[in-house]
Structure formats: C-alpha cells, structure tokens
Chains A and B, each alone.
Chain A
Amino acid sequence: MAGIGFVLRKLASRDDYLGITRAFIHASVVSSGPWIMTVISLGLIYFFTEKIVVFEQAITFRTIMIYNFSFSLVLASPVYMITTRYVSDQIYLKDVHTIPGVMICSLATALLYSLPLAGIFYFTKSSLPLFLSIQAVLNYLLLSILWISMLFFSAIKNYQSLTLAFFLGILIATLASIFLAFPFGASGMLFGFNVGCAFIVFALFGVILAEYPYRFRIPPNFFSYFRRFKDLAIAGIFYNGGIWIDKWLMWFAPNADISPLGLPTNTTYDTAMFVAFLTIIPVMALFIFSIETNFFETYLSYFHSLQQNASYRLLEEKEKKIFNKILENGRNFIILQGSLSLTFILIAPSIFELLSMSYLQLGIFRLGVLGAFFNMLVLFILVFLSYFDSRENYLRISFILFASNFIFTWISRDLGFVFYGYGYFFAMACTFLISAFILINYTNSLSFQIFITNNVYRLPVRVPTKKTLKKLK
C-alpha cells in the first residue's frame, strides 16, 4: 500500500479539480477495480441481454460468474497476501529485479492448487456442457490471475495505463458478451467476458514487465515467506471468506435458486448485496486516497524522527498526531459515507425502480448498505494495522469477521425471510466495534507496539536450539 501514495499526491498536487478527480478515479480502480468491473459488466450484460437471451442461459452465465468470482478471490487470497508482503519487502530493500520472477512464482503457486479444484468442480460436479466448462475454468483462471497481478500495481507508478486497461477491458467484455449472447447463449457470453478479462490481464502483464524489465529468476526466500507469514495467509482466507460466507450460506436458504446446472445461488439476496456494496465505492476511493497521502506523511514523520534519534517527548507528540489522523480519517469517513449510505437507504425505492429490481429485495438491500458501511470501516482498520505490521491483530479481526458473519447469517437464515440481511449487518457492526476497540488500544500505546511488540525493533537474537547444539557435538 505504501508505494502508491507518492504518485497519488503528485496527481492531486496539480491543484485543479480535474487533478483531484483523476486521482480519485485511479484510487478507486486500484482499490476495487475487479469488483467494479464485475458488477458493472454483469449489470450491463444483464440489462442488454435480458430481451434476447433465454432466461436459463442468462442465469447460467450469472451463476458461473458469481462462483468464479467468490471462489477465485478466496482461494487466491493466501498467495495474494504473502506476495504483497514479499513485494513490499523487496521494494523496501530496493531490489525490484526479482519482480518478474515473483509474479510468475506467485501465479504458479496460486494456480497450482486452485486450478485443479476448479477443473474438478466444473467437469465432474456440475452438469455443464464441455465447451461451457472449458470457458468456466478459463474464466476462473483469468480472474485468479487478475487478483494477483493487481497487487503489483501498488508498486507501479503507471496508474493511467491501469485505469485505461480496466476501462477498455470492461468495454470489450460487455460488448463481446452482448454480441455473442444471442447466437451462442451462456457460453458465448462467458467467452465474450473472458476476452475482456484476457485483454486486461495481458495489458497488466505488459505494464508490469515494462516497469520491471528484468530477467526471470526464482525470487530468493519467496517460498519461505509462506511459513514465516502464515498468519497473513490465514488472515487473507478469513477476511475474503468472511465477506462471502453470508452469500454462500444464503445459497442454501429456502428461497435459493437452483440453476439449470445444479449449482445453487440466491438471486434475491446476492443481487441486493452486490448493489449495496457499490454504494461504498466512491467514499472508499476517497478514503484510500486520504490514507495514502495525508496519513502516510504523518506515519513517515514518526519513523523518521525515530531513526534520527529524536527524544521521547517528540516521539510522543508524533504518536499523538498519528492517533489524531486516524480519528480524523475515521470521523470523515463516518460522516461522508454515513450520510451517503443513509441517502441510499432513503431513496432505495427510486433506485429499485430505476434498476427494475424486485421490492422483495428492499430490506436486504438496506441492511446490505449498512453492513457494507461497517465492512469498509473494518477494512480501513485493517489497513491501519497493516501499516504497523500488527499481523496478530489483523488475523484476530479477520477471524472475528468470518466467524460472526457465519454465525449471524446462519441464525438470520433460520429466522426466515424477514430477517435476511440482518446476519451480515450485525456481523459487520460487531466486528467493527471490536476492531475499533483493538485499533484504539493499539494506537494508544503505539510506541510500545513499535519498539517491543513489532518485529522491526526486536533484537536480532538468533540462538541455536538445543537440537542444533547437540548435533554439533
């Protein structure tokens, strides 16, 4: 995350509104590119093909997309987390020569275990025709690659090309699936979507390799990171699994749909939640921008003073500043997103009319908007904690998010339709309260955490174990 701050600030420092707007667009692409892409293309494709494609075909397409999206995200997340850590360490050490190698190794690792799973799933567990299965697996492959390639962009300065790649990719995906929908049905739509995805993937590869034009070599110690930072890998699974677990559970609710393929989904719940999630994107972009620029400066200033051997009094002052920055950012987000979310909740009926959505989904949507609001707050708390490398708390919060969403959604599902959506909402609200408590506690004793708890300043004591000593004798 640290890398992108400088460029964003440069963009914004053009001091005209256009500059700032552009920075926002880039920030939102970086933070939520694939998500926006999928939801927007799905919406567009759905809107345009509604009249021309058999309902079953559209459902098939949608089901495959949702399955691939959620499972590729969760399964790629351990590799994503570990690789992010590795890349930022490499950048810190100013050794970016390894990046092409890291990219290939991380993709290979992620696909090594998740691609066979996807293959087995589509070829044996579902009743998809062969061509559609191939397209589905291909789609899974492309999405997985997309998640992992995205992380290299936090280190790359070329945001314009990233945004452009996504814009063109969405355009291609949407147009291609619309045009292929009528003659070829679901497999045509999927193929079209894959073409768009492939375009983005190749464009991203091009930009990354142009930025780091080094020969491939196996990155040193890369694989040992999986052992050293297994807490991060596990936290990745919990967090991403945690924001999907309510959907997965709802696929088995009494009102769930069984698609022609035999794969369950819950259109009522899923669509409402997806659209609800879109409501936080503008403020999220703003907030990422704010963290990466003004918070990051305060943060750096603390560490500079530390390294320049400042007095404790000065460090205490800077510590207070960091604390205040976090509060300030949190307050801004709550006010902005809070009013925005409230507006969406109030004008929900009009939105539903505009998008021609079912009023049955209104309650779920409203709870989804509130839940997403808290969900984002949790995400930002995680971002702050990762700035201080507090992996223990990161893992703790991710686990709470997963567990609470699981439990509350299960309960709300049992309570019946009227309560659908409450599970996610309560889970996110609870996780937020707990993680806010953790963050405040943490930043209140920041120096203690940095000097003592954090690995960075732990003494370099490497002691042989009794076993190795015995061996030497």
Chain B
Amino acid sequence: MRAVMGKQKMNNPHEADICLIAEGSYPYIEGGVSTWTHDLIKEQKERSFTIVSLMPPTEVPKYRYTLPDNVVGIKTLFLQHLPKGKRAFGKNKYLIEMIEEPLNQYLTGDFYKEFDRVHDVFAAYRHVLGRHILVESKEAWNMIVRLYKAIQPDGPFLDFFWSVMVMSRAIYSILLPSLPRARLYHSLSTGYSGMLLARAKKEMQAPCLLTEHGLYTTERRIEIAVSDWFGHPESLNLSFDYRKHTLRDFWLNAFVNAARLCYQAADEIITLFEGNKEAQIRHGADPRKMQVIPNGIDFEKYVQFTKKEEGHPPTVALIGRIVPIKDIKTFIRSVVLLKKRLPNVRAFIIGPTDEQPEYYEECRTLVEHLKLEEDCFFLGKVSLTQYLPNIDLNILTSLSESQPLVILEAGAAGVPAVTTKVGSCPELIEGRQDEMPPLGRGGIVVPLSNPRSVADAAFRLLTNPNLYAACSHSLKSRVETYYRKELQHNAYRNLYTKYLGD
C-alpha cells in the first residue's frame, strides 16, 4: 500500500501547502526532531506537505517512519552529491571567479552578504554546472590553490583541500537542484537546511519559517571540538601556531554564516525555549521575528503513572542515549558519591546503547571500576512508562540539550528532576521568567560535569519528603499548564493559518 501511495505522491509533487526542509533526520534517521516532524505532519491533517530531506552521501537510506497520507512528495538531497554537468563551457573561468570571493568569505568572513551573488550565478547556469566544472576542472583546482595561498599560505595543504572540498561541494549541492513548489517553506534547523530556506525565499518569494530545536551552530561547535580530525595530538605542542586553529575556525565561520542567512530569510524564527534566543540574536536573528513554541507531551498518558510502587529502594534514573554528549560518566560518578550517603540507592540508565558502542563500553568499564555493578543498571532501550512507578528521581547530566522531553514525561508522573544548566532545563525546572503565577521549582539545577553537585542535589531531594513533594507537584503543574501537546499543535496550526489562510 505504501508503494502505491508513494507513486501517487511522486506524480503530483508541486501542489503542496508546506515544504518541510529537514537535515539528517526525517524520514530516514530516528530521533527527537524526526519524531517531532512526524507528529507535526500527522497533526496538521488539513495541510499537504512535501519534504526535502538533506542526507549525508554515505548510505542508501531507508524510511524509518510511515509517511502520513498528507505527504505529497519527498525529495532526498545528498549533500556534496553533484550532477556531472557539462565538461567544458566557454565561461568556466568566469564562473569559478564568481564563486571564489564568496567561498573565501564562507571560510573567513561574511558569506551571507555574498549569497545573492552566488545564488544568481547558480540560477543562471544551473543547466551546465556540475561536478565537471565546479570540482574537477582545472579552474576549480586553481581556485582552491589561490584560496589556500590567500588564507593559509603555509598551512597543511591536505587538510585545507579537504575542508574546502567538503564545504564547497556541500554548498553546490544545496544550490544546484531544483526546489519543490510549495506555498510556504519551513526549515527545521539552520545549517544546510537553512541555506536551502534562504534559496526558497529568494526564488519562490514564499513565506519562510524556521523552527530551531537545538542550536545548530552550538551543536556543530561541540562536534568540532570532539572531532579527531581537527585535534591532532601535535597541535598541543609548544608551537601553538594558527594552523589547526584556523581549520576549526573555517568550519565554525561557515556554520555561523549559514545561520545568519537562514535568520535573514525566515519570516518567523521559532525556538523551543527562551534561552536559545540570546545566541540566535548574536548570530543576527531579528528579535521581532522570534517566538517560543515549546514542545509538548501527552500529559494524560504520563499522569497515570503518578502512583509509585510500594517498597522499592530509592531510585535515580538517567533517561537518554548512551553518548558522550549526555555525559553518562558524570552520572555514574555521582551515583558513587550518593551511595556513600544513601547506601541502598539504585540507579537506572535507560536508553539505546548502540549509537556509540565504544562510549558504552567505557561507561561499563567505569561502572566496574567503581564497583557499582550491583547498583547501576543499563536497561537499554525500554518503554519509560514501564519503569516510571519505580523511579523517584530523574537525573540529566547532559553537556548540551535543547528541550529534553524526558523531564516533562517523568515530570507529568510527578518525578522531579536534577539537571545540568543546559538548554531549556532551567526553564523547565524553575519556570520562565514571565511565568504567572509562579509555580515553584520542580527540582534542582546543577553545574556541568560536577558529580558532587549532582549527588548533593539528589541526596537532598531523596531525603527531604517536603521538598520532594513540593518539587513533584510544581513540575507536574508546569507540564500540565505549558507543555501539553495540544498547545504546541495549536500554535503551529495558527502559524500556518496566518500565512496560508484557512
């Protein structure tokens, strides 16, 4: 049946109300943003959607979601993948020269100011441009060498070459393919999706929305910080020269530029929580365009699990994927400290372990070293509701988050939380500044990578029944008042109506 539907969709790709632009997510990769997208499409039944899905060019992707019936088209765009294009063309040199300065700006300056120029070149020569001219021609090679000489004349050439190659190919692959027609374009992040949104704004003159879950620029900054490629061990030696330094900066500059472009193009910049706004404004977002629409949860579903199971030992839980960004190790260390003061405490780590197996291995080794095998359990990917009646405290040690739904889900069931001061966590726990009436705190916010603070906070909550009850109650009321799914969906319904009519 899906096959039949698919066919129908492909035949009629141009009459969608909304074009969603997703990067590395829906419908091929599972995760928070993909689930959010899937729900959005399902909820806005009266609108038709077409999807542009940007994917890395490595694997043949498979659908992870059954596309709802109101999806009328899907276009998969592989980053860096280019059509062959013409080989020789009288204006090779001219074309490459037109691209050179913008690329330079992309690495070191303000690309967003040059975007129109590049865009026009691509728009005018779309039928001839491709791999042959843009990547494999002598002119393109000479341009890379010129850029190298201008930007980093004595730096490591291979690294520079690769960076420029990957970045420029990615831009080309965004600028070349034709866009599906729609009455409104809605990007789910900045970055390459954002660049595509800027293109849509220029070419289609349609209204453009941006919903930013996590901050793309911040996420990439962290990714770059932990990537091996940039940090060769020798970069730590005495000659702390500018080289490795600049390679990192190129990438960051590129992402900041992409963000700026996207903020400029978007008519509405939606984010999940207040805390994101500051960084968005720093990267050029206009405060007048900004609004917060937090994600909601199915309150009724979770509220049923409020009643705790009798007689279980005090239990703390970390709910999340076993990956470095969740800083599981800090959680494990805090359990040791907590156990010294509360010997019968038990800890669950609930979440898939297969995303970064080597990190999972490290965590298991840590558990063994700290002799916690009897107290700390990796439960894998299980249904949260099954364990909710046995969990007393929800702990989140992440180094970065946008708006973690687990705090809301457990909160609806009356489980207070100890979280690090990242993303919207402070807002979820302590309430937004403009919360009226103030509902009180729903847990304790602690600093990053600080096992002792986590253990202290957990100890206080687990041993002080009054505090626990107060936190439990206020978190639950906050979720009920502000973070219900219906509120989120209504907000988007209104937004779409504002631009598309009824």
Contacts and interface: CB of A to CB of B under 8 A. Distances in A.
Contacts of A462: 57-59
Nearest to B232: A309
B6 A309 contact: no
Given A463-B78, A463-B81, A452 B145 contact: no
Interface residues of B, number: 33
Contact of B141 (A306, A315, A451): A451
24 contacts: A309-B156, A309-B159, A310-B157, A311-B153, A311-B154, A311-B156, A311-B157, A312-B145, A312-B157, A315-B157, A445-B138, A448-B141, A452-B135, A452-B140, A452-B141, A453-B136, A461-B81, A462-B58, A462-B59, A463-B57, A463-B81, A468-B60, A469-B76, A472-B62
B80 interface: yes
Interface residues of A, number: 24
A356 interface: no
A464 B61 CA distance: 8
B117 interface: no
Per CB-CB distance, the 3 closest pairs between chain A and chain B, nearest first, are A309-B156, A473-B6, A464-B60
B474 to A, nearest CB: 48
Nearest to A449: B141
Contacts of B81: 461, 463
B318 to A, nearest CB: 35
A347 interface: no
Interface string A296-327: 00000000001101111101000000000000
A306 B158 contact: yes
A468 B76 CA distance: 12
Nearest to B166: A459
Contact of B155 (A311, A459, A463): A311
B476 interface: no
Given A448-B138, A459-B169, A473-B2, A309 B60 contact: no
A198 to B, nearest CB: 50
Contact of B154 (A313, A453, A469, A472): A313
B254 to A, nearest CB: 17
Contacts of B76: 469
Interface string A437-473: 0000000010110011100000111111000110011
B240 interface: no
Interface of A: 306-307, 309-313, 315, 445, 447-448, 451-453, 459-464, 468-469, 472-473
B57 A473 contact: no
A452 B134 CA distance: 11
Interface string B58-85: 1111110000000000001010110000
B381 interface: no
A40 to B, nearest CB: 48
B469 interface: no
A312 B149 contact: yes
Contacts of B149: 312
A352 to B, nearest CB: 52
B225 interface: no
Contact of B3 (A315, A460, A473): A473
Interface in B146-172: 148-149, 153-159, 161, 165-166, 169
Contacts of A459: 80, 165-166, 169
B62 A309 contact: no
Contacts of B6: 473
Q: By CB atoms of chain A within 10 A, which of B57, B140, B153 has the most?
A: B57
A472 B60 contact: yes
Interface in B440-477: none
Contacts of B3: 473
A469 B57 CA distance: 13
A165 B156 CA distance: 49
Interface string B74-112: 001010110000000000000000000000000000000
Contacts of B157: 306, 309-312, 315
Contacts of A463: 57, 78, 81
Contacts of A309: 156-159
Contacts of A315: 157
A302 B25 CA distance: 41
Contacts of B141: 447-448, 451-452
Given A309-B158, A313-B154, A453-B136, 19 more contacts: A307-B158, A310-B157, A310-B158, A311-B153, A312-B149, A312-B157, A315-B157, A448-B138, A451-B161, A452-B136, A459-B166, A460-B58, A461-B80, A461-B81, A462-B57, A463-B57, A464-B61, A468-B60, A473-B6
